[in-house]
Structure formats: structure tokens, C-alpha cells
Amino acid sequence: MNDVYTYLYKVEWCIIIIMKKERLLIRNGSRILTPAQHYRLREALDPNGGYRIIIDGLINTGARVVEFWKIVKNPQWYHASRRLIDLPSIGACKKPMCTQTDRTIKLTERGCAALDIIYSSEIEYRDPASMNQALKRAAKKAGFEHVEGINSKMYRKILISWLIECRKDLGIDSSDIQASMGHTEDTMIASYLGIGFDEQEHADMLAFVKGWG
């Protein structure tokens, strides 16, 4: 019996040693999640509110939130056979910082599957405030230490950071990511290079973005 207690004590001690403090990585007010964190948050969302479908669309397209809802309303921009979205100037962000007025958004097969579900589900519009509240509630439910930076805008930043991290594995030039996301080169370099993901996070990101471009 003493041996059993000794074993249990050793197991508990090991668990305490390997637990890592949650990383709070924020870029321009939005959180950058690892794939494991993303899946945790997604599972904690209410499956009946349409939020999972929406964030699947956001993280797979990398579109700005305002652009995403225009894409939802205009399925003719989406070309499944080519795995891309031709976003015209009328659908692109109109803020002064958005210098690229139209662009082609590249997708993975996973991204196409997400859009196919969106167009077959007739999802209802969710305003940013409602989305952000739902995401923060889910983050707390999922046991996140911090909800700072958890918002609907973060999914674009998450995808960009994952693509930048895996670009060499995929043989992708940074300029291709820049063109698809409608970012400037300076923003890409300043915000997404050298974040410092570990090996497991890199492998999980590679599995998610495989086939992009």
C-alpha cells in the first residue's frame, strides 16, 4: 500500500513540474492563440449559436471581420475548385490603413469546407460586441487565465502568424501571404516574425495550414 501512495505522490509531483504558465501573446490588441488554445476555445463556444461556424470562417480566410460578412453575403466571390475568394474592392476594408482595395484570398481544403458549411447554413449576422462577449465567455469556460485580447479580430492575426511560422515548410513566399491578407510588408515583419512557437505548436500549425496557396 505504501508503494501505491509513493507512486501517486510522484505522479502529482511530475504534473506540477510540467505545467506551463499560459502565454499571453497580444498583437495590436488581439490575442494570438496556439492551435491547442484555439481548439479549446472553439469547443467551449455554444454549438447552437452559430459561433463555431463563424470563427471557422474567420480563421480559415484571414479576412477582416467586415470583409468576412461581405463574403458571406456574396457567395459568387468564392471559387471552391480553385480554393480561393476573389474579393473585389466593394468587399474590401475601407479604412485608410487598408491600402489594398481588392485581392485574392487563398484557402486550404479545410477553408473550403468551412465556407461550404457557411453557405449551406444561412448563418445570421453577429455584431462585433456580441461576438466578443461570446468569445470571452467561452475563454473563461475553457479555463483561460486571461481573456485580454480575446475578440473576433484575433482570428485574422492568428492565421497570419501561423502561415508566417510555417512558410518555409510550405514553400510559401512571405509576399504571397501579404497579398492574400492585404497587409503591408512592414506590418508583417513588425507583428508576426519571430514570435517563438515551440515544436509541438509548429507541428499543429503546419497541420492546420497544410495545402494553403
Q: What is the largest CA-CA distance in the chain?
A: 72
Residue 118 lies in a domain: yes
99-129 pLDDT, tens per residue? 557 999 999 999 999 999 999 998 999 999 9
Residue 93 lies in a domain: yes
What is residue 20's predicted lDDT score, i.e. its pLDDT?
Answer: 63
CA distance 206 to 169: 8
Q: What phi and psi, each to the nearest 5 degrees, are found at residue 147?
A: -110, 5
Instruction: List Cβ neighbours of 98 (8 Å cut-off, separation of 6 or more).
Output: 64, 92, 182
153-180 pLDDT, tens per residue? 999 999 999 999 999 999 999 999 999 9
To the nearest 10°, the Cα dihedral for 116, 182, 68, 97?
Answer: 180
122-132 pLDDT, tens per residue? 899 999 999 99
- Give me the CATH number covering residue 32: 1.10.443.10
Is the pLDDT assigned to residue 194 strictly greater than 70?
Answer: yes
Residue 1 lies in a domain: no
pLDDT category of residue 188 using cuts at 50, 70 and 90: confident
| Count of domains observed in the chain | 1
What is residue 141's predicted lDDT score, i.e. its pLDDT?
Answer: 97
Domain that holds residue 113: 24-209
What is residue 94's predicted lDDT score, i.e. its pLDDT?
Answer: 55
Residue 72 lies in a domain: yes
Residue 8 lies in a domain: no
What is residue 105's predicted lDDT score, i.e. its pLDDT?
Answer: 98
CA distance 167 to 173: 7
Instruction: Answer whether 22's CB lies under 8 Å from 36's CB.
Output: no
Q: What are the grid coordinates assigned to 102, written together? A: 481588392
pTM of the predicted structure, to 2 decimals: 0.86
With CA atoms as reference, report the closest residue to 209 among 114, 107, 118.
107
Residue 169 lies in a domain: yes
Instruction: Answer whether 73's CB lies under 8 Å from 136's CB.
Output: no
